[in-house]
Amino acid sequence: MNQRVTKFLQASASIAVLLAAWQIASLFFPHYLFPPVQDVIARTVKILLNWAELSQVLETALRIFAGLAGAFLLGSLIAIPIGRYPRIESYVNPFLIFLQGIPALSWVIVAIIWFHGTEFRIFFIMVVTTLPAFTFQVLDSYRSMSKDLFEMTMAFRPSGWVLFRVLIVPTIVPGILTAWKINLGSSARVVVVAELVGATGGVGYELLRQQQLFDMAGALAWTIQLVLFVLVVQQLIVWTETWLLRYRPVSERAA
């Protein structure tokens, strides 16, 4: 408990120093470059209390969840057969590595050329940019399964469903949750890029409006909304992980 308090105080000190430096800069530079901290906080609160603006944040959140869910399902469907039949890997890996090397902005341009619907464009971009990470993480989790435990389970001659439920799922769940935590932050950045060039709503669209108005306070307030969303969802994933893995020793979960 003391360690948690220490980490919280250290994080609070870092944020306090950053806010103080920004506030001092606002005294010497125009407010369109460095708006006062209180202005940014006021705009942030206004977005949270105004349904018309908060709905833009929720719209972006739904796009992130939809893209991550699609990439996770597709990545799992690719990873599990590779784990069962390793020969497939030499055919699939180059394709996934190729996808992983393509910048998100390139996928935005491709999606605009290929598709007409805004929502499908964003969904496609989200899926294709997060698919490799999900696939590799699920595959690594599957391969981390204990060989001795697998052979012991097979000695009972379980059905395919029972094997999947009692052995494979508990083995890959930690890796899956880690993949969600990692992809959540990257997908938040990707969705903003996608919304900047092709959407008529969402955080990315609002950021574009603030840029056109030269409103730094507004741009920071909308950015903070996305950061808050990522922090809240990551904490929910941590709580879910703690509950699902409650059978593990505390030292193992902490590691």
Cα–Cα distance, 233 to 175 (Å, whole number): 17
CATH of the domain spanning 35-254: 1.10.3720.10
User: What's the whole-number average pLDDT of the chain?
Assistant: 85
Check pLDDT > 50 for residue 170. yes
What pLDDT, on the 0 to 100 scale, is given for residue 249?
A: 58
pLDDT in tens, 18-74: 889 999 999 998 888 899 999 999 999 999 999 988 999 999 999 999 999 999 999
Question: What are the boundaries of each domain within the chain?
Answer: 1-33, 35-254
Q: What is the mean pLDDT of residues 69-96?
A: 88
Dist. CA 200–CA 48, nearest whole Å: 20
Query: What is the average per-residue pLDDT within 225-251?
Result: 81
Q: What is the CA radius of gyration of the chain?
A: 22
Q: What crossing angle do the helices spanning 89-100 and 118-143 adopt, rounded to 10°? A: 130
Quick one: average pLDDT of 198-203? 80
Closest CA to 190 of 108, 118, 70, 69: 108
pLDDT, tens digit (0-9, with 9 covering 90-100), for 117-167: 888 989 999 999 999 989 998 888 878 777 777 777 777 777 777 777 777
